[in-house]
A and B are shown apart, each in its own frame.
Chain A
């Protein structure tokens, strides 16, 4: 009886001891370190990449490449920006970047007065170099150090040539662009006109709209009403393409129309794979990101001064729907 009692007691003690010990270990050795305080070494250069279209495939690629490049060179780079071409937010970010006294700003150019004021006056006041990327703003207006991106003029030419290939040498082309004709759009338009002017049988109609979806639809309807015999559409600004095609699709089949656009819109690639776009201009966002980061660092380190004011052009090529399919 006594022996059983002692045995039971010992067992209880062992079990309790075991649980207590494991809990003790769990409770007092759980790793809950605060994140390491800054490793001390100040990153030499703080760069910011600011875009108007965060989280689009195009800008994601560019951002990742730029960040990678900066990391390789021992600088830190953050991607800021606005969503869906929100200019107000975009400009605010730019101003914050300037007021935060970052070492360099890589920015998607915006051809507005506010942007130019910020770039020209504020950034210059704080001595912060600005490189435009993907979309350029002329140096004289923005005091940018350089431009890294596609040759938009060439892009326009490529589109026009592709159009000629597909459609033949006669027809009616509707060119849809932003009301606020930004510099890069103008360049694209110039490129298209440059090619098409040699073909008198091709008639071009230029239509203007805004970013608002309803207006794009209205503009498209208007165009289709006024030009029922149209053969082709070119969305000068990639963002327009989605709403435009949607509206065309409501009227008739999309396939008979030759529709072209660029790859820097949020839905460009998906429209192409669906076969709704016949071709897009594919740019090199990775190259743009890495090259811009590299150039701004070189400039900061005085390795390459001055930068080419004409800009550093990256590769473009036409991507046809068939290829994608």
Chain B
């Protein structure tokens, strides 16, 4: 991962390198020019030194002649040595242009030294006249040397003129180059810095926007930052946080829904209890009355009536008791049979009930009073209105992980719209001859009980209606 730290370092290093390169180049160039200047100056200084030394030598010689003491002789010798030294230095000034003149120059210096020596010799041998002659010659030579120095300097200027002008031009060019270079580097650095700052601020901006979105509650927008530094890492972490929050929220929503459903189921239960209570005043009274009637009928020898009355009483009791807790399918089936006994007594031959029950399935839990309203419904619609009666099939089958309960009749069928309403759990207007706890109530209770929508299906045609309930063997969800 490319750290911001590293980025800053790289930028700084690049700038530093550019600066260093320029600095080195310019310094190198300056040094070179400086050296050239030094060389040139050295040339002139050397030539000038020749003139000065030669004059000094003549002056020393003269001094010695005026006051011939050893100190002056020493001085003379010193300047003579210096003259010889300077002569050897002058030889470095030789180039193709001044070859001839320089040789002459050096020879002149030689002549000067020789003449001085001669003059000195004559002086020592007291030949004053000769000495004076040589001295005057030496003076002349010294003058010639001065002149020649000027000539040499002159030719030097001529020879090097182009070179000097070159140096001047070059320094002008360097000045211009400096400006251009500065402009270019400024431009380049601005671009680099722009790109660099963008590479930092852009992800930060994205991150800020994402944070804004989150703070406004938009949790579904993914946070994506295309950068290769810590910001990207930050964004990833942030995104993970967003996903987590999102999950938490949906979980809470789910829980709230469950709560809501529970509430609803409770309300429904209350409703059914209320409905039940409404018919409780009479049922208790009826229940006792029915028992009395049953005993009376038995005593009077009417066994069938007695049984019927017992069935009605049993049914009534069941209805009163088993409303708010789950029962087994077996119990439900028993109640159903009692109910059907009554109905058979009512409809006699008009009602044909065929039951096929898989006994292994009877231990399944089921909310109370779920089968009876459906059968009642079938009886009400398929048997009661028809003079020649109707058939009702009741089947309990094992469907692997669930128990399939089918209630089929050969009635005129139910309207499509009504089926839809029933399955969607909408309350529909009740007919007068229902027991009260309606079809819809059953559907909703089953759904709440098993926590699944797929508990009931209704197939209906003109030839009959078939209600299929799938009761899971393993009950799950809330009670």
Please give the residue numbers on chain A whose beta carbons come within 8 Å of chain B beta carbons, in ascending order.
9, 12-13, 16-17, 19-20, 23-24, 26-28, 30-39, 43, 46, 76, 78, 92, 95-97, 99-102
Contact = CB atoms under 8 A, between A and B. Distances in A.
A100 B167 contact: no
Top 3 nearest A-B pairs (CB, nearest first) are A32-B166, A100-B104, A27-B173
Contacts of A46: 100, 103-104
Contacts of A100: 103-105, 107-108, 111
Given A30-B169, A36-B95, A100-B108, A23 B144 contact: no
Contact of B187 (A16, A30, A34, A76): A16
A20 B184 contact: yes
Q: Which of B141, B177, B181 has the most CB of A within 10 A?
A: B177
Contacts of B141: 99
Contacts of B29: 27-28
B180 interface: yes
Contact of B110 (A26, A39, A43, A101): A101
B167 A32 contact: yes
B148 interface: yes
For chain B, what secondary structure do more than half of its interface residues adopt (helix, strand, loop), or is it mixed?
helix
Nearest to B183: A16
A223 B55 CA distance: 52
A54 to B, nearest CB: 15
B170 A30 contact: yes
B359 interface: no
11 contacts: A23-B176, A24-B177, A28-B29, A30-B170, A34-B160, A34-B163, A35-B160, A37-B96, A95-B144, A96-B108, A100-B104
Nearest to B165: A32
Interface string B271-287: 00000000000000000
Contact of A27 (B99, B100, B108, B174): B174
A94 B429 CA distance: 152
B95 A35 contact: yes
Contacts, number: 94
Interface of B: 29, 36, 39, 94-97, 99-100, 103-105, 107-108, 110-111, 140-141, 144, 148, 159-160, 162-163, 166-167, 169-170, 173-174, 176-177, 180-181, 183-184, 187-188, 191
Contacts of B111: 99-101
Given A9-B187, A34-B163, 17 more contacts: A16-B183, A19-B180, A23-B176, A27-B173, A32-B162, A32-B167, A35-B95, A37-B95, A38-B95, A78-B100, A95-B144, A99-B107, A99-B141, A100-B103, A101-B111, A102-B104, A102-B107
Contact of A95 (B140, B167, B177): B140
B95 A34 contact: yes
B104 A16 contact: no
B173 A13 contact: no
Nearest to B175: A27
A26 B174 CA distance: 9
Nearest to A19: B180
A147 to B, nearest CB: 25
A101 B104 CA distance: 7
A67 B442 CA distance: 140
A184 to B, nearest CB: 28
A41 to B, nearest CB: 10
A23 B103 contact: no
Contacts of B105: 100
Contact of B94 (A26, A37, A102): A37
